[in-house]
A and B are shown apart, each in its own frame.
Chain A
Amino acid sequence: MKKYLGCLVLSMTLFLGVQPVFAQANLEYQILTKEIQSLKQDIQELKKLVQGIKQAPAGGGGGGEFKEAMINIKGAPMRGDKNAKLALLEYTDYQ
């Protein structure tokens, strides 16, 4: 009888002693799960950002589809050879 009682006491002691450890592990697991979910969301947002940068190489606005436009350059300050084949038009402002 004493032997059984001893075993029971030992089991209870172990059970009660281990319980906070499980609770701690469970808490840590929940925190880690949340952090992983947050990281996954961050990765998704970064993927979207990279995709946007690929479509509009360096930020700014108006990076959509463009085919062709005839632009009047009369009066625009210029540099370079007036007889050049190509012209690079820089749309900019002072800030």
Chain B
Amino acid sequence: MFMDFPLDMHKNAMKASEAGLCAGDQGKFWELSHKMFDNPTNNPTYLEKDNIVKLAEELGLDMAAFKACFDGGKYVDDIKKRMAEGQSKAGLTGTPAFLLGYIQADGKVKATKKIVGAGPFTNFKTAIDELLSKGK
């Protein structure tokens, strides 16, 4: 699951997170997300608002709907709530960070493992195997 955690130090991160979720309204979250991460020349203006709109256009989105969502800040509160929950409940302060846990009947996740940073595959495998071997 993709949990937006736009850090203040990354000046375009919040608008990019919003854009991803707005594209998700049209079933294109992952497509836009991949495009926003794919900045091969490390262009510092790549995630500025105008370029994000251009990336969204390339995906053939309904731009009127996208812009209404993007400019209207439809997902700002959701993103802030998600961040606040990660910070207060799991002590998250940076990205990437991962929580691993059991999906509950009410749709929440009971996270019991935290992995901080882009660690090696074995870190994830060990945690997943451990949880799979246990109950809920």
Contact = CB atoms under 8 A, between A and B. Distances in A.
B contacts with A: majority SS: mixed
A contacts with B: majority SS: loop
B77 to A, nearest CB: 11
A87 B97 contact: no
Contacts of B81: 72
Given A77-B20, A86-B132, A93-B17, A60 B97 contact: yes
Query: Which of B101, B102, B107 has its CB near the most chain A CB atoms (within 10 A)?
Result: B101
A61 B47 contact: no
Given A85-B132, A86-B103, A94 B116 contact: no
Interface stretch (A9-17, A28-36, A39-47, A62-70): A62-70
20 contacts: A57-B115, A58-B115, A58-B123, A60-B95, A62-B87, A68-B111, A69-B99, A71-B89, A71-B99, A71-B108, A76-B3, A77-B2, A78-B1, A85-B132, A90-B1, A91-B95, A93-B5, A94-B6, A95-B10, A95-B13
